[in-house]
């Protein structure tokens, strides 16, 4: 959660603070517009993990390491039909190739009145190190605690090690999750506590730009899995979104919603894709994003685009770039406002919601209904807007 420096939050023993310099953006007519003004944003309750960046021909100077920062905040469930608390999990991934030494930084009392995020004004001394030009990881300096015993020291050493010796083994595709926060522990407990009948079930972890979550957020994830043999599984995944708000053509939002209500008896958006897992040869595991792929003719489309339908009417196999914790949880990025998606992140500078379906406090419900069953359940427009359908949990 991004907060002001003056606020003081109690964090779990392995959590740290994260700051990044970024241009300030504005939402105008539903579109994200980046300004030239920059600010350093501060996030509390953060955990850090590392992964190898994918090789991309469009990167002139590929970075050596991808840093994954997570944060979370608690929130009440907004639907009257779902009476449970929920945790919103956030993720930002960025590539680096340099790291500074850890330094102690004291606040400057003479600068308290200056409204400048570049100046450290407290409220107290901190340990801090910098990653490339625009990222910092830090924690408060506590009396009697040696730097070598701090969380920031452990993270700094791990990053140094991976920059010196790049990640080379098969784990390079896995978004690691450490039990460093209450939220992370709950997610790991869920993923490891499935009974024998549920083991081997393929459930994607989904990332969506948080700024797109006001009306376009994911409500439900349904997975229908077919196991052809011990090695091959195919999963038909259907996502139910709260809505589909246009950005590039926002002027047509009301008309678009009316048309959807007439054609489909719903204003929520429903999208489907396939996952094919080959346990004997991971290089053959793939996604199939028919008519919803966020790449067309090699161009990656981002959140301001709302009429992207890559792989139209054809089933193209796209290799899975990343997995979450283990190979049963491939990662999907929702990239555009019309929910076109891909195996890559097209909105690298934006924080993402991290949806892990099925976790007790997740805002996303996990079910096992087919696309046809979901479509058949939608009632006329008046009834479909009355609240979130809570599917069975498995």
Instruction: Look up residue 78 and give its two tokens.
Output: 């907004």
More confidently predicted of 222 and 58: 222
166 and 272 fall within a common domain:
no
DSSP 332-373: EEE-STT--EESS-S-TTS-EEEE-TT-TT-SSEEE---HHH
153 and 183 fall within a common domain:
yes
Name the 3-class secondary structure at 217: coil
CA distance 38 to 19: 13
314 and 300 fall within a common domain:
yes
158 and 77 fall within a common domain:
yes
Please report which helix (H) or strand (E) contains residue 214, including its range: helix 213-216
Please say which residue of 135, 159, 193 terminates a domain. Answer: 193
256 and 379 fall within a common domain:
yes
Instruction: Look up residue 151 and give its two tokens.
Output: 């969380």
Query: With contact defined as beta carbons under 8 Å apart, do 226 and 233 qualify?
Result: yes
219 and 318 fall within a common domain:
yes
Please say which residue of 150, 171, 193 terminates a domain. Answer: 193
Query: With contact defined as beta carbons under 8 Å apart, do 107 and 121 qualify?
Result: yes
Total count of domains within the chain: 2
100 and 231 fall within a common domain:
no
Alpha helical stretches, state H, 66-209: 151-164, 182-192
Q: What average pLDDT does the segment 20-44 reach? A: 83
Please report which helix (H) or strand (E) contains residue 127, including its range: strand 126-131
Tens digits of residue pLDDT in 158-194: 999 988 876 555 556 888 888 878 888 888 888 887 5
Query: Does the structure show a pLDDT above 60 at 98?
Result: yes
Q: Which of 239, 176, 251, 235 is nearest to 203 (CA)?
A: 235
189 and 220 fall within a common domain:
no
CA distance 252 to 265: 19
241 and 354 fall within a common domain:
yes
355 and 222 fall within a common domain:
yes
The pLDDT value recorded for residue 159 is: 93
Rounded to an integer, what is the distance from CA 102 to the centroid of its chain? 28
Q: Which of 197, 180, 198 is nearest to 188 (CA)?
A: 180
The pLDDT value recorded for residue 25 is: 79
CA distance 315 to 320: 15
Give the pLDDT band (50/70/90) at residue 62: low
Summary mean pLDDT of the chain: 80
CA distance 339 to 237: 14
Tens digits of residue pLDDT in 378-392: 754 434 343 444 444
**pTM, full prediction:** 0.83
276 and 370 fall within a common domain:
yes
Query: With contact defined as beta carbons under 8 Å apart, do 371 and 272 qualify?
Result: yes
Range with the poorest average pLDDT among 90-94, 144-148, 261-265, 378-382: 378-382
Please say which residue of 193, 211, 231 terminates a domain. Answer: 193
Domain that holds residue 384: 198-394
Polymer length of the chain? 394
95 and 231 fall within a common domain:
no
The pLDDT value recorded for residue 104 is: 92
């Amino acid at each position: 959660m991004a907060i002001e420096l003056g606020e003081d939050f109690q964090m779990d023993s392995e959590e740290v603070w994260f700051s990044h310099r970024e241009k300030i953006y504005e939402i105008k007519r539903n579109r994200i517009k980046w300004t030239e003004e920059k600010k350093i944003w501060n996030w509390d309750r953060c955990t850090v993990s590392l992964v190898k960046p994918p090789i991309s021909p469009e990167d002139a100077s590929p970075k050596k390491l991808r840093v994954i920062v997570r944060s979370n905040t608690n929130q009440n469930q907004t639907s009257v039909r779902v009476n449970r608390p929920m945790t919103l999990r956030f993720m930002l991934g960025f590539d680096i190739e340099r790291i500074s030494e850890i330094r102690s930084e004291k606040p400057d009392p003479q600068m308290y009145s200056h409204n400048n995020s570049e100046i450290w004004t407290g409220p107290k001394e901190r340990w801090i190190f910098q990653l490339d030009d625009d990222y910092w990881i830090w924690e408060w300096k506590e009396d009697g605690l040696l730097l070598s015993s701090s969380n920031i020291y452990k993270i700094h050493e791990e990053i140094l090690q991976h920059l010196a010796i790049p990640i080379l083994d098969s784990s390079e595709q896995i978004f690691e999750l450490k039990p460093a926060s209450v939220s992370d522990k709950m997610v790991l407990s869920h993923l490891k506590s499935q009974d024998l009948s549920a083991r081997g079930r393929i459930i994607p972890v989904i990332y969506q730009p948080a700024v797109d979550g006001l009306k376009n957020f994911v409500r439900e994830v349904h997975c229908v899995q077919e196991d052809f043999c011990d090695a091959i599984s195919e999963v038909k995944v259907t996502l139910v979104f709260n809505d589909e708000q246009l950005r590039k053509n926002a002027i047509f939002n009301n008309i678009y919603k009316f048309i959807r209500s007439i054609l489909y008896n719903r204003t929520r958006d429903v999208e489907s894709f396939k996952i094919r897992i080959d346990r004997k040869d991971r290089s053959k595991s793939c996604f199939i994003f028919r008519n919803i792929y966020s790449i067309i003719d090699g161009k990656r489309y981002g959140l301001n685009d709302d009429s992207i339908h890559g792989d139209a009417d054809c089933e193209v196999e796209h290799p899975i770039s990343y997995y979450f914790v283990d190979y049963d949880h491939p990662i999907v990025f929702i990239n555009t406002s019309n929910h076109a998606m891909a195996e890559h992140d097209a909105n690298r500078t934006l924080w993402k919601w991290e949806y892990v379906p099925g976790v007790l406090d997740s805002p996303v419900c996990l079910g096992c209904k087919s696309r046809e069953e979901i479509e058949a359940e939608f009632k006329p427009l008046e009834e479909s807007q009355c609240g979130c359908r809570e599917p069975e949990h498995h």
